[in-house]
Structure 1
């Protein structure tokens, strides 16, 4: 579904991505692991067109490197950024409506607004409350759900459990599994190894702007050398 080949990206003169290669298949959860600053978030932004990509990014066989972010989104890729870009002055319901693509009606795809309320009762209780008064965890839920409202075929989710309570982390994990059940592929950028290794089908480990390991969660568990050098603090 998604094939990234020799992907490079820069911030000014800083060479952040230095030849990233990865792929994601239909309905697969792929975890992108690594320490802060190795290029995981930049990989998502380069795929999405928020950072200029140098290399090849193919989605369903179509080259999308160089397309604008809204064009990538309209092709079927959703993006949940780490910084929870909600619209604070709008209600929960209004934020969710903004996730719909032009001409798309609520419930026309795999997800309806009621699905979001069923998965996260907090959102239902705050449906008509301004998003600015929501907790960080609720805002994270809202960001994920708003992206799903656009019915993407692949969703990239950047650090969804950062700063959340253990209970909320478990809710996010449950939703990620539900996303996969509905046939949506997922690229998950995550710091918590326990969550990533529990739900991912495959994992990539990044270091210094490159992929330094690719394999199954079990294979990574068996590689103490990889975990010590590239993941553990």
Structure 2
């Protein structure tokens, strides 16, 4: 579904991505792991058109490298950035409805479904989103993206700075998205979530992929974990 080949990206003169190769198949959950600063977030930003990509990026067989991000989104690729962008003065309900791409073509993710799945959001449906907790804002951001009915969603650091209980709830939400058949590319620091829900994992180091395999493969490879993941 998503194929990335020899992907490079730059911030000014800094060469951040140095030939990233990866793929995500339909219905698959893939986690992108690694220490801070190795290029994980830049990878999803380059795929989504937030950073200028150099290389091949194909989504459902179509070359999307360099397309405007609104066109990429309309092809069915969702993106949840790590900064939890919401509209703080709009209500939770209004934020969710902002995620709908075409009201004339209702998707499989509906407002009532989202509110039923997450009682916290339902209880605050008519409250300004700016007063939500960090965890509630994260759930709202993910749910708003799902309202656009993506076939693949890229989620960047969804559990950063959240309390353990909220981390579990966010992990459950991501698992539910996967159960409904949406492919996921997850950028995550916490190995526990990635190892629990992923079919495959990539480990990045110095702007390139240094390991690809199943969670079991990574669990059994102490040298990779020690060199590229452990602090």
What TM-score, normalized by structure 1, do the two folds share? 0.97
In 2, the alpha carbon distance for the partners of 1:97 and 1:57 equals: 29
Aligned partner of 2:137 in structure 1 is 139
Q: Map 1:62-211 to 2 at 5 A.
A: 62-104=62-104, 108-211=106-209
Whether the 8 Å CA contact 1:28–1:180 is kept in 2: the answer is yes
In 2, the alpha carbon distance for the partners of 1:52 and 1:103 equals: 31
Aligned partner of 2:20 in structure 1 is 20
SS of the residue corresponding to residue 21 of structure 1 reads: strand
Whether the 8 Å CA contact 1:110–1:182 is kept in 2: the answer is no
In 1, the alpha carbon distance for the partners of 2:126 and 2:104 equals: 22
Aligned-residue offset at 1:5 = 0.2
Aligned-residue offset at 1:182 = 1.3
SS of the residue corresponding to residue 108 of structure 2 reads: coil
Per the alignment, do residues 171 and 104 of structure 1 end up closer, same or farther by CA in structure 2, a change over 3 Å counting?
Answer: farther
Q: Deviations over 1:179-212 (max 9, x none)?
A: 1111100000000001101110000000000000
In 1, the alpha carbon distance for the partners of 2:38 and 2:91 equals: 36
Aligned partner of 1:32 in structure 2 is 32
Whether the 8 Å CA contact 1:177–1:199 is kept in 2: the answer is yes
Unaligned runs of 5+ in 1: none
In 2, the alpha carbon distance for the partners of 1:161 and 1:104 equals: 34
In 1, the alpha carbon distance for the partners of 2:214 and 2:222 equals: 14
Aligned partner of 2:218 in structure 1 is 220
How much is the aligned-residue C-alpha RMSD, in angstroms?
0.8
In 2, the alpha carbon distance for the partners of 1:222 and 1:209 equals: 24
Unaligned runs of 5+ in 2: none
Residue-pair matches, total: 231
Aligned partner of 1:48 in structure 2 is 48
The runs of at least 4 consecutive aligned structure 1 residues that moved more than 6 Å come to none
In 2, the alpha carbon distance for the partners of 1:172 and 1:3 equals: 26
Aligned-residue offset at 1:102 = 3.4
Aligned-residue offset at 1:164 = 1.3
Whether the 8 Å CA contact 1:123–1:142 is kept in 2: the answer is yes
Whether the 8 Å CA contact 1:17–1:43 is kept in 2: the answer is yes
In 2, the alpha carbon distance for the partners of 1:118 and 1:190 equals: 26
In 2, the alpha carbon distance for the partners of 1:52 and 1:32 equals: 20
Aligned-residue offset at 1:104 = 4.4
Aligned-residue offset at 1:103 = 4.0
